[in-house]
Structure 1
Amino acid sequence: MRGMCSAMLTFEAILLGLSVPVMISVEDVPASVAAPLGLGLAVLCLLTAGMLRKPWAYGIGHGIQAASIALGLLVPVMFFIGGMFAVLWASAFLLGRRIEADKARWAAQGEGPADA
């Protein structure tokens, strides 16, 4: 689960970093607003990706998804792009939990995925 969620946050950090010039040049958002929002969220994504060993870091990841969607108030296309990343994040989170549960079940039964 950690690997998939970390990958989603890393890709999202790239997207959020690239959203800054779009906010400034296309949507005429002042640089004093766009830079802290876009780059701040990008840095938060990277920091959170590194902290996913702790269970509480996933809550921060959920919050990042909400903040990415909320950027749509400044750049309307971010409603779609943020929503897309939120779906990817949720998929990685839920699929990762399912995989970990299957691994625990296999370990408890004394069998591996190749034996099943």
Structure 2
Amino acid sequence: MTGPEEDAMPAEGEAGAAPRRSGLKNPEAAVRGLGAGTLVLEAIVLLLAIQPIRILGVDLSGWQIGLVIGLAVVAALLAGCMRRRWGWGAGTALQVALLASGLVVHWSLTAIGVIFGLAWAYATYVRRSILG
């Protein structure tokens, strides 16, 4: 038994039917949301990481704190730019910059960079598998 929604949709193989690789209504928006969510979480974690680094006994200078805050701001801005073609590439560059900042500021930023680099790699994998 089929419902009225299924009768209105052309079956696969009929003229005008585009096979959907996923069951999502709007796969592009879902993938953008995944990328944006990952970057927003990264921005929050970066901002929250400043105080624990200071508690560990590291005397952060003004430019080092500014670097961490700058990375968090860039992550938040890129979350809003996921509709742009260059958004995913810029997100990847941000992950590389975070890894490099761990060499300059503190090793814990490298650990955060590895964690979010893996999350970003997974988001990119999901993007490729859903959008093709």
Deviates more, 1:21-30 or 1:6-15: 21-30
| Paired AA for residue 84 in structure 1 | I
In the alignment, the residues of structure 1 paired with residue 42 and residue 117 of structure 2 have an alpha-carbon distance, to the nearest angstrom, of 10
| 1:84 counterpart (101, 111, 115) | 115
1:50-104 per-position Cα deviation (integer Å, ceiling 9, x unaligned):
0110111112101110111122212112222211100100110121221122xxx
Distance 2:64 2:49 in 1: 8
User: Match of 1:34?
Assistant: 64
Q: Which has the higher helix share?
A: 1
The match for 1:93 among 124, 128, 132 is 124
Query: Unaligned stretches of 5+ in structure 2?
Result: 1-30
1:53 pairs, out of 75, 83, 94, with 83
Q: Contact 1:20/1:34 (CA < 8 Å) preserved in 2?
A: no
Q: Determine what percentage of the aligned residue pairs are the same residue.
A: 34
Larger Rg: 2
Q: Does 1:11 align with 2:41?
A: yes
> Take 2:120 and 2:65, find their aligned partners in 1: how far apart are those partners?
24
Structure 1 counterpart SS, 2:73: helix
Counterpart AA for 2:86: W
Please point out which of 64, 69, 75 is paired with 2:99: 69
**Contact 2:53–2:108 (Cα < 8 Å) also in 1:** no
Q: Distance in 2 between matches of 1:63 and 1:5?
A: 14
CA RMSD across the alignment: 1.4
Letter in 1 for 2:45: L
Structure 1 runs not aligned, ≥5 long: 102-116
